[in-house]
A and B are shown apart, each in its own frame.
Chain A
């Protein structure tokens, strides 16, 4: 049985370049997705599902994230250094209200009030030094679906009392039976 024509000459090599192109593009996509996910999402927070949510405003740069969930020690056991974990264990019991700010230790509402006041003061000074009108920071509240209404309401009220007026609630997009979002 003979394979192909020709004179049995040159060695045929597959052209790997297009394959490499595709692989590198896929690689780039996954690397960018991984960065994006770690920046935005706290996986401990199980957001409620909603049909009424709108896509996020990517142009909004001045944003503070407030994550709210019932405290569960297991969420922190492998993530925090021993001394921080001990402090957290002293302050929280399972089921307590726990506020998580990216880059900060778990907070209670009293800590949040102090932190928000400081953030507002700094933002106001910065805005005034740049000749701006006022603080334009948006507060994004990511509340766990098992959080109580009173807890979320108190955080909203606290943000309002400090002076923030741009408040946003996060939820997961729920597909409607008709196919829309």
Chain B
């Protein structure tokens, strides 16, 4: 593939502001996504177990697979676009750093593991619920760090 990247855009103020704004919006999305998943599924092992497997003592029914799969379906779509935009801007600004390649790999792998682990947790058990929690929080934290690095580069260049 050949990428049509021109040097004319390297110092474009408009492009810098656009990139900064979209990264700021994604940063807010990431924070609120954590809050949303805390309400929908839970962000501690007990809450996740109650959501996925129910609680017989308190008459709480487990989540329906339809609802969980819909959440996973939406998560995959949103994660793809959030990481795709973040990583593209990050590569543009930090292409000379050796770490860039590994950070992008890690971001995509964690983002991919998260929904897969949630489905596995539903069918297999709490081990995967823990893995979902770790991968979900980690990809959000890593994406936030990447977002901050992008903003830092754009604002203080």
Q: Do A and B associate with each other?
A: no
Chain A residues with CB under 8 Å of chain B are: none
